[in-house]
Structures are given as structure tokens and as C-alpha cells.
Chains A and B, each alone.
Chain A
């Protein structure tokens, strides 16, 4: 009984969506061109995705799986046009076969490592994929050490240790500077597990928890508002671009 009802809700919604769009095309609200057809498709996908708020349904699952496929296809094509073509195909493979200019032979090394990475798919030669992984991981580790020391350690400690009174600032600013120093130290002490959190360490650690709670609350509120702005964006698209009821 319930399945029947869901089926008819789905059919009814699709029929209504179709009727609305056909009437838009007939009255000239939408033109028969790719741009307006794109608006209809985007509106359909938006409504299909929102249908999940009622319950999981076949239309949502189709749109969800299609989205995964399109996202994959987009990533593959963009990787070709932004990475493999300009950095490997154009400077190495094209000159190698046309001899219009000297090929960049050094690029053979990453090409071979890239092919080795694809060996992951073979059971006998999977071990070869360790070489490119080692290259990528080693490169990342080497870049991380100096960059993190500079950007995230020194550059973060510097403003935390700013003088409370150096002339020119208000009492409000000085209190804030002091609070930031207290917050950084107490949070670091909270995450320091080599000493038992008892006595003075326990008190500072407790202050650290308070700072963390405020931060988590602020991050939550900020994320919710970010999602809300996306929701407003999609609603505005439906009301303005598709239905045209908002100017």
C-alpha cells in the first residue's frame, strides 16, 4: 500500500515537473536552446536531490549515481587537460614523434613512475607501484618539514607572543592578546598527555577545554551558515532562473 503511494507520488511529481516545463516552453518563458534546456536539467536535478528529504527514492538514487559518474568523468578529463597534456604529452610525446622541437627527455622518469603506479592493478607486478608512491610520499614529507615549521609553527607562535602593552593599543585589545595567549597555552596543555591532568595542570587543561568548546561551537555555527547560504543559492535558482517568480 505504502509502496504504491510512493510510486504514484514519484509519477505525479515527474508529470508535474514535465507539465510545468512544457508550459514554460509553450508560453515562451523558456526558449528551445541549450542554455534553457540546461536550466530545466539543473532544476530537475536540484528537485530530485531535495526529494531525499522526504525519503530515499529511485529518482534520488539515479541522480546520485549519475553525479558520481559525471564527477569522475570531469576529474579524468581535467587531469588530462591540466596535468598530463601540458606537462607530459606536449613537451615529451609530441616532439618525440614529430621532431618539431627537442623532446624534454627528463620527463621519461615521471612517465615511467606513472606507468609503474598503474601496475597496482596487476597481482604480479603490484610491488612496482611502491616506487612512485615512495616518490610522492618522500617529496611530500620533505616539503612538509620546512613549510610547516615556517607557516604553522613559527608564524603561529609569533602573534601569540605579541606584547600585551607596546603602546597605542586599547585595554580591550590587550585583554584579547592575553586571552589568545592563555587559549593557545591551555589548549596545548590539554593535548599534552605525558603528565597527569591534576592540580595546576588540571586547572589549565580545564580552561583549554572551554576554549575548545567555544571553538567547536563557532565552527559548527559557521558551517551551518555556510550550508544555509548554499540552500538559499539553490532556492534562488529555482525561484529566479527556473520559475521566474523572483526578479
Chain B
């Protein structure tokens, strides 16, 4: 049983890791076809994973309602939103879900008039919170924090017309900050992150890193 619970998944990870790393260096049509097939399999498995996420969210809100936790009444609206959207998605404008997706259905209407405005508004609210957080935390106490503050102000002013009205050099300075020191730092961070990702991938393939198996046997 330990073999099925530990040995097989470690073997699958090793096999898939080695095959996928190897196929990159084999410029043959079979190699490309193999990559396409595996990517398709991955897409299908990820599709099933969405249902685990849905179950998890429903379970969380069902428990909140069952236990009458603080604000439990609002959890009903999660179910209302999800079931109405799923129902119209499955109805598919009268053609049912086993046919190709129809455009301009009630499902698209819900997306355009609920999800898009709600998502955009939530993210735009962050502008207020970021401004208030910056006001409270951005203090030019040290040279480093002053550098950060000045860079942020120049980039913000350089992206709006008022920056050019103050001085024609502000947009140029903003472009220079984005294109030179910002690029250099981002590149350094990216190199470090990439080396870390490669090292972790090697550890996963050879079974040194096993966190993805979860706890237990």
C-alpha cells in the first residue's frame, strides 16, 4: 500500500519531469506532439480541480450558515450568485451545455454587468487604500526610503499630463527609471527567482521535495 500511496506518485513526478525536460531538447514532430498531448491532459486534470475549489467554497459557506457564524446571512448570496450563473451557463441560451457556447446569452450578460464592474471597482478601491497606506508609511527617514519615495513620485507624475506641465523632464525621468534602474533590479530578482525555481523543480523530479503529496503515509 505504501508503494501505491508514495512510490507511484513519486514515480509519476519523476517520469513526467524527465520526459518534459528531455522533450525540449528533441526537435522532432513526435516530441512536439507529445508536449501537446501532455499539455491537453494537464488542462483536463486542471478542469477537474476547479470542482474541488467550488466544493471547498460551498462547504465553507454552508458551514458558516449551519453554525450561524457572524454574518452568516451574507453567505446565501454566494450560493445565489453561483447557482444563477451556473444555471444560465448550463442553459446556454436554450441550446444546453452539451452544445458549443452561444454568444450574447444571459450568462454573458451576468459576466458583463456583475463580474466585470464589481471586479474593476474592487481593484479601483485599492487606489484609495494604497494612497492612504503610502501617506502613513512613506516617510523619508533614511536615504533608501527617500530614494523609494522620489522614484515613486517621479513615476506617478511621469504617467499623467500634469507631470509634463510641471517639467518636460519628468516624463523622460520616469521612462529612464522604468528602463534602467528598475529594469536592472527586476532582472537581478528574476535571475534569482529563476535559479530558485529550477532548483526546486530538480528537487521535485528527484523526490527530495515532497510537499505536494500532503501529510500522512
Contact = CB atoms under 8 A, between A and B. Distances in A.
A97 B87 CA distance: 25
The DSSP consensus for interface residues of chain A is helix
B5 A127 contact: yes
B165 interface: no
A179 B38 CA distance: 43
B120 A61 contact: no
B69 interface: no
A61 B152 contact: no
Contacts of A32: none
Contact of B123 (A110, A138, A227): A227
Interface in A72-96: 72-77, 79-81, 83-85, 87-89
A229 B133 CA distance: 19
A77 B22 CA distance: 35
A160 B41 CA distance: 38
Nearest to A227: B127
A208 B54 CA distance: 44
A152 B188 CA distance: 10
Interface stretch (A4-12, A16-24, A184-192): A184-192
A187 B191 CA distance: 10
A55 B195 CA distance: 45
Given A83-B43, A183-B181, A224-B130, A134 B9 contact: yes
Nearest to B112: A38
Contacts of A208: 188
A162 interface: no
How many B residues are at the interface, by size bracket? 35 or more
Interface string A135-172: 11111111111111100110011001000000000000
Contacts of B130: 220, 223-224, 227
A212 B13 CA distance: 36
Contact of B180 (A114, A140, A179): A179
A38 B98 contact: no
How many A residues are at the interface, by size bracket? 35 or more
Contacts of A152: 190-191, 193-194
B194 A65 contact: no
A127 B215 CA distance: 10
Contacts of B152: 217-218, 220-221, 224
A215 B185 contact: yes
A224 B13 CA distance: 41
Contacts of A115: 48
Contacts of A230: 120, 123-124, 127
B162 interface: no
A214 B44 contact: no
A156 B186 CA distance: 10
A75 to B, nearest CB: 6
A77 B85 contact: yes
A77 B114 contact: no
B143 to A, nearest CB: 8
Contacts of B22: 142
Contacts of B13: 134-135, 137-138, 141
Contacts of A45: 113-114, 117-118, 121
13 contacts: A49-B118, A58-B74, A70-B118, A72-B81, A72-B85, A110-B40, A136-B46, A156-B194, A215-B189, A217-B155, A218-B177, A220-B148, A230-B120
Given A134-B10, A141-B20, A145-B17, 14 more contacts: A38-B113, A42-B116, A65-B75, A109-B41, A118-B51, A135-B41, A137-B13, A138-B204, A152-B190, A180-B183, A183-B184, A217-B148, A218-B177, A228-B124
Complex A-B, nearest 3 residue pairs according to Cβ-Cβ distance, in ascending order = A183-B184, A69-B81, A142-B20
